[in-house]
Amino acid sequence: MGTGTTLFIGAVAVVGLCVYSYRRYVNKIAQENYSKENKQIGTVEKPNHSTKTKPINQIAAKAAFINNLSQFSSLLPTLVDGSYSQNEVKSMWNDVIIDINDWDLINLWQLVRKNSESIKHILAQWGLTPDLCTQFQCMEFHKDMYEAIDGQPIVNGKEYQVISPCWILSKVSESGKTIKEVVTKGRVK
């Protein structure tokens, strides 16, 4: 085996170990949270389930979130504009999560809901990320991603500054190609 192959195998092993450790940590935290009686999410009581018999299934939590993505489209910008720190915004997120009524999503939410960075990290693992562009010269594809803050359509060739980024969901098709879908349009001036 060459040095490159050995390094690749080593890198894969390290990544695998990190994923395994993270999942154990998440499950341990979930079990500790459920051992406390009458704990609440926001102002709504948690369902009466025990993680000692059922660990959080992140794949199921992801499916519940993605299947209800339209309910989060207006909330996603709060994760990047700083407003997530406000209690009323957190309460809106909690209400949507609870309304979905998925055990895995609710319990995962308990672990990450304290700050926007934790939420963005989980969403990124699920393929949902904000666009990182801060300014651009408009091309045709930008018209599906952004809208002007004054309600006017954006114009090809014009320079824009991003006020709020768009959110993009990346999926892998059955043929193995990555498909990107704009979930929430960004705003520019």
For residue 20, the SS3 value is helix
| Contact criterion met (CB below 8 Å) for 132 and 158 | no
- In sequence order, what are the residues at sequence separation of 6 or more whose Cβ sits closer than 8 angstroms to the Cβ of residue 120? 79, 80, 129, 130
> What is the rounded distance in angstroms from the CA atom of residue 47 to the CA atom of residue 38?
10
pLDDT at 39: 43
- In sequence order, what are the residues at sequence separation of 6 or more whose Cβ sits closer than 8 angstroms to the Cβ of residue 46? 34, 39, 40, 106, 107, 110
pLDDT at 38: 36
pLDDT at 45: 45
Which residues share a beta bridge with 116? none
pLDDT at 37: 35
> What is the rounded distance in angstroms from the CA atom of residue 50 to the CA atom of residue 47?
9
Q: Please give the average pLDDT of every successive group of 10 residues along the chain, which has 189 residues.
A: 64 58 64 48 47 80 96 94 93 96 95 93 96 94 93 91 96 92 94
pLDDT at 118: 94
pLDDT at 147: 94
Residue with tokens 């999926």: 171
